[in-house]
Amino acid sequence: MEISTRGKNVTPSSTLAMNAIANQLKAEGKKVVNFGVGEPDFDTPLYIKEAAIHAMLTGLTKYTPVSGLLELRQAICSRFKNDYNLEYKPDEILVSNGAKHAIFNVLQALIDTGDEVIIPSPYWVSYPEMVKLCDGVPVIINADPKNDFKITPSELEKSITEKTKLFILNSPGNPTGTVYTLDELKGLSDILVKHKIYVISDEIYDKLIYDGEKHHSIASINDEIKNLTFIINGVSKTYAMTGWRIGYVAGNKEAIKIMTDIQSHATSNANSIAQYAAMIALQGGEKELSNMVAEFDKRRKYMIEKMEEYGINYVRPKGAFYVMMNIASYKGKSINGELIDSSDKFAELLLKYNGAATVAGSGFGNDNYIRLSYATSLEDIKLGLENINNFINSLR
């Protein structure tokens, strides 16, 4: 088979791969604690499911406008206004098949062959791959764990060349849980405006935030940065709706029109039933959301406490539902004669010998870490952390 160069260059998603192995071990009857999960372990709230049933029963099952139902786009605009005092009109919104698809559409519309896209590492696995699929060039900035994996304005400026087109910001971040403060965002925004660099601001975890931190959208700083920014969000994480596949982008009207045209030839509109459900989701759900956030926070605190107790090095997360565990000091050690020489090997052997599934940092651009998700029960977290402690204590 003659596969395209573009196709050959794609690296499969490491998060999905690890999940698949863990599920396979479970199916074989083995007890596996799955720290690899990238979605809330909560059910979609009932009021949202009822909205979907109502949509189906009343025949709202046909094509919708490619850019999404007007009522949904209006609901999205209201959320931007209420949450971040951001003014968008429905023709500045495109609804897609999940936030991932929304990001892909932005890249398709903006990136020409050879354009550089700056991505801080550790990054969400799909960013560099999507950039490569658009024939762009990912330019990685290694964020310092001592600075909570946040990049500084001067680090950003140093990586800008005449080919730089776009910067990808993800706060709260996956896999780091990093949350940029308003001042930090202002610092980055000044550089981006000065060099006229577009921004994808992936804010999919905006509502999953702890330690009294507050989410700020970079677009809310001033009109200059707003005009350069494409905000990504969706219902996947906030409303535990990962399978419904509704995400969206807000930004410049002309660019949104191009993205809509691109989507019209690829997938047409997102699922009509899921769109009606998402519209209702966005208009409520505060109680369910605060319960979910409280539960995530309880688990996060427990994990941090235990990691301290076990002497495990980590970076304190302030958002999303992941913790980055440092594994650098275990490199060069072995278990049963098997050498740990990378985060992949650490994750593989931890799963093999102590039944804890995690995601190697290599896929996120930092081989000194593994990612642990706390979107799993507290009971499993307790057991899983004991397993990790036993594993590192048995390394020689």
Ligand X SMILES: Cc1ncc(COP(=O)(O)O)c(C=O)c1O
> Would you say 204 or 323 has its CB closer to ligand X?
204
Q: 34: phi > 0 → left, psi -120 to 50 → alpha, else beta; which?
A: beta
Shortest Å, Cβ 336 to ligand X: 34
Shortest Å, Cβ 254 to ligand X: 24
Contact criterion met (CB below 8 Å) for 92 and 256: yes
Contact criterion met (CB below 8 Å) for 333 and 395: yes
> Would you say 15 or 354 has its CB closer to ligand X?
15
> Would you say 150 or 345 has its CB closer to ligand X?
150
Shortest Å, Cβ 202 to ligand X: 5
Output the residue with the shortest Cβ distance to ligand X: 98
> Would you say 111 or 204 has its CB closer to ligand X?
204
> Would you say 88 or 244 has its CB closer to ligand X?
244
How many whole angstroms separate alpha carbon 194 and alpha carbon 151? Answer: 17
Tell which residue, 43, 78, 95, 21, has the closest CA to residue 347.
21
Residues that bind ligand X (CB under 6 A): 38, 98-100, 124, 170, 174, 202, 204, 234, 236, 242, 247
Q: One-letter amino acid identity for 291? A: N
> Would you say 175 or 355 has its CB closer to ligand X?
175
Shortest Å, Cβ 43 to ligand X: 16
> Would you say 122 or 247 has its CB closer to ligand X?
247
Shortest Å, Cβ 318 to ligand X: 15
Beta strands in the chain (DSSP E): 33-34, 93-96, 116-121, 137-142, 164-170, 198-202, 229-234, 247-250, 314-315, 322-326, 334-335, 338-339, 356-357, 359-360, 369-373
How many whole angstroms separate alpha carbon 230 and alpha carbon 338? Answer: 46
How many whole angstroms separate alpha carbon 232 and alpha carbon 132? Answer: 19
Shortest Å, Cβ 1 to ligand X: 29
169: DSSP letter: E
Strand pairing category for 247-250 and 229-234: antiparallel
How many whole angstroms separate alpha carbon 378 and alpha carbon 223? Answer: 43
How many whole angstroms separate alpha carbon 307 and alpha carbon 168? Answer: 30
How many whole angstroms separate alpha carbon 316 and alpha carbon 146? Answer: 10
> Would you say 148 or 202 has its CB closer to ligand X?
202
- In three-state secondary structure terms, 167 is strand
* DSSP states along 190-244: HHHHHHT-EEEEE-TTTT-B-TT-----GGGS-HHHHHHEEEEEESTTTTT-GGG
Shortest Å, Cβ 56 to ligand X: 22
- In three-state secondary structure terms, 130 is helix
Shortest Å, Cβ 204 to ligand X: 4
Q: Read off the tokens for 317.
A: 């997360």
Shortest Å, Cβ 173 to ligand X: 7
> Would you say 64 or 170 has its CB closer to ligand X?
170
Strand pairing category for 164-170 and 198-202: parallel
Shortest Å, Cβ 98 to ligand X: 3
